[in-house]
Homo-oligomer: A and B are copies of this chain.
Amino acid sequence: MLVIGECINASNKTVAEAIAGRDREFIEGMAKAQAEAGADFIDVNVGAGQGTQGQETESIEWLVKTVQAVTDKPLTIDSDVPRIIEVALGNYSGETVMINSVTAEPERLESIGPLAAKRKALLVALAMGSEGIPDTVERRLEACEAILTNLTGIGMTAEQIYFDPLVLPIAVDSRQGLVTLKTIEQIKARYPEAKTVMGLSNISFGLPNRKLVNRAFLLMAAYAGLDAAILDPLDGKAMSLVRISDMLTGKDALCKGYIKAYRQGKIVD
Q: Footprint of B on A, CB under 8 Å?
A: 170-171, 174-175, 177-178, 181, 203, 207-209, 211-213, 216-217, 219-220, 222-224, 240-241, 244-245, 247-250, 252-255, 258-259, 262, 267, 269
> Chain B's nearest CB lies how many Å from the CB of A60?
36
State the main secondary structure of chain A at its contact with B.
Answer: helix
- Complex Cα–Cα for A51 and B253 (A): 42
Q: A207-B258, A258-B207 are in contact. Are A174 and B220 (CB under 8 A)?
A: no
> Are A213 and B244 within 8 A (Cβ)?
yes
Pick the residue among B174, B241, B248, B259 that contacts A254 (CB under 8 A): B174
> Chain B's nearest CB lies how many Å from the CB of A202?
13
Q: A220-B219, A255-B170 are in contact. Are A250 and B212 (CB under 8 A)?
A: no
Q: A219-B219, A219-B220, A223-B224 are in contact. Are A177 and B269 (CB under 8 A)?
A: no
- 6 A–B pairs (Cβ distance < 8 Å), ordered by A: A174-B250, A174-B252, A207-B258, A209-B240, A217-B248, A220-B249
- For residue A237, which residue of chain B has the nearest CB? B269
- For residue A241, which residue of chain B has the nearest CB? B216
> Chain B's nearest CB lies how many Å from the CB of A124?
23
Residues of B within 8 A of A240 (CB): 209, 212
Pick the residue among B170, B175, B244 that contacts A212 (CB under 8 A): B244
> Chain B's nearest CB lies how many Å from the CB of A76?
26
- Complex Cα–Cα for A203 and B244 (A): 12
Q: A255-B170, A255-B171, A267-B209 are in contact. Are A248 and B223 (CB under 8 A)?
A: no
- For residue A269, which residue of chain B has the nearest CB? B212
- Complex Cα–Cα for A216 and B222 (A): 10
Residues of B within 8 A of A269 (CB): 209, 211-212
Q: A181-B223, A208-B259, A223-B181 are in contact. Are A174 and B244 (CB under 8 A)?
A: no
Pick the residue among B170, B220, B250 that contacts A178 (CB under 8 A): B250
> Chain B's nearest CB lies how many Å from the CB of A173?
9
- For residue A244, which residue of chain B has the nearest CB? B216
Pick the residue among B181, B207, B217, B219 that contacts A216 (CB under 8 A): B219
> Are B262 and A209 within 8 A (Cβ)?
yes
- Complex Cα–Cα for A250 and B207 (A): 15
> Are B241 and A208 within 8 A (Cβ)?
no
Closest 7 CB pairs of A and B: A177-B248, A220-B223, A219-B219, A216-B244, A212-B269, A208-B262, A178-B250
- For residue A262, which residue of chain B has the nearest CB? B208
Residues of B within 8 A of A209 (CB): 240, 262, 267, 269
